Amino acid sequence: MIDQRLLPARLEVAAFADYRQVARAIREMVVRGAPAIGAAAAFGMALAARQSAAQEVDALRADLQEAASRLVQARPTAVNLSWAVQRILRLAADYQGSADGLRQAVLAAAQRIADEDVAINKRMAAHGAALIEDGDTIIHHCNTGALATVDWGTALGVIRTAHEQGKRIHVLVDETRPRLQGARLTAWELSQYGIPYDIISDNAAGYFLRTGQVQKVFFGADRVAANGDVANKIGTYMLALAAHDNGVPAYAVVPTSTVDLSLASGEEIPIEERDPAEVLNLQRDGAPIAPAGASARNPAFDVTPARLVTAIVTENGVVYPPYLPNLKKVVSNE
């Protein structure tokens, strides 16, 4: 995996030899972004199968279950993680054959998850790019590009596709505090693609929306409830509120694997709270921004109510309200 903690200063690839290391890489955000986490967890399961000493299928299933528990606990909000792990566990439960055969089947399933993610991204990008017009200025929150997926990206993949179609677009990149995924990662990706951009502080978004300088808002999601509520990187809710107040459409771009129909609303989505040090350790001119002994709260995500989301772009098409029936249709691909 690309170690995303080091960008943009250094581009380094990290290797992981067992599922415990993969779980730690997910928890410590070496890898981040819901689709990328899902694929990483699937390969973590393949490592668990490979390294298990089990000679019988039932014993191997037990080892896979243990690995699944550790991987799922690494980041509780992103549903793709549990989705990928449960897909592997279902395969194992249904498998008939030898333990070595199951090991190969798990590896093949992990590779399918990765390959499917790339194809899904490309389909989402085509649907979403149709929403972007020549000359648009777009606010983008967090990082949703190739770094956050297996390849291409979700919301940033839409923007990249519009650019490759020849549309003249400009991106305002939210810094995305406290881990600055926008300033560090999205800006780096846009530079690779040659897409014009400016980094803005998160709390500047309202200014640009209110003054008519923005035509679209795009962001991804780590989980979408059945009613269309969207859990995404902290700050998305405030951005969507400002967009709604100024009549600017706000689009979530998500694979259907991110839609959790088992949850009635966003109130049921678990919100990860991370180490306060991520907030307190920020520095300015080499000095800490916070006084010694300060405390902090650090929720990693917030929930944007469905009423603030103009549409949800998926690989099976663009979903508009009412979300409850329409998300069911798109997930089942009716």
pLDDT digits (tens, 9 = 90+) for 63-77: 999 999 999 999 887
- The single-letter code of the amino acid at 319 is V
Stretch 296-309: mean pLDDT, rounded?
97
Count the residues in the chain: 334
Q: Check if the beta carbon of residue 35 is closer than 8 Å to that of residue 150.
A: yes
Measured between alpha carbons, how far is 95 from 60 in angstroms, rounded to an integer? 11
Q: Check if the beta carbon of residue 147 is closer than 8 Å to that of residue 33.
A: yes
Residue 163 corresponds to which tokens in the numbers above? 């650019």
Mark whether 222 is an active-site residue: yes
Q: Collapsing DSSP states into helix, strand and coil, what is residue 141?
A: coil
Give burial (CB, 10 Å; 0-12/13-18/19+) of 298: middle
Domains of the chain: 19-122 (1.20.120.420), 130-332 (3.40.50.10470)
pLDDT digits (tens, 9 = 90+) for 67-119: 999 999 998 877 889 999 999 999 999 999 999 999 999 999 999 999 999 99
pTM of the model: 0.90
Quote the DSSP letter at residue 169: -
Measured between alpha carbons, how far is 230 from 331 in angstroms, rounded to an integer? 15
Distances (CA, A) of 294 to 249, 274, 277, 287: 38, 16, 10, 14
pLDDT classification of 334: cutoffs 50, 70, 90: low
Measured between alpha carbons, how far is 39 from 113 in angstroms, rounded to an integer? 6
Q: What is the pLDDT of residue 13?
A: 96
Active-site choice (222, 229, 260, 302): 222
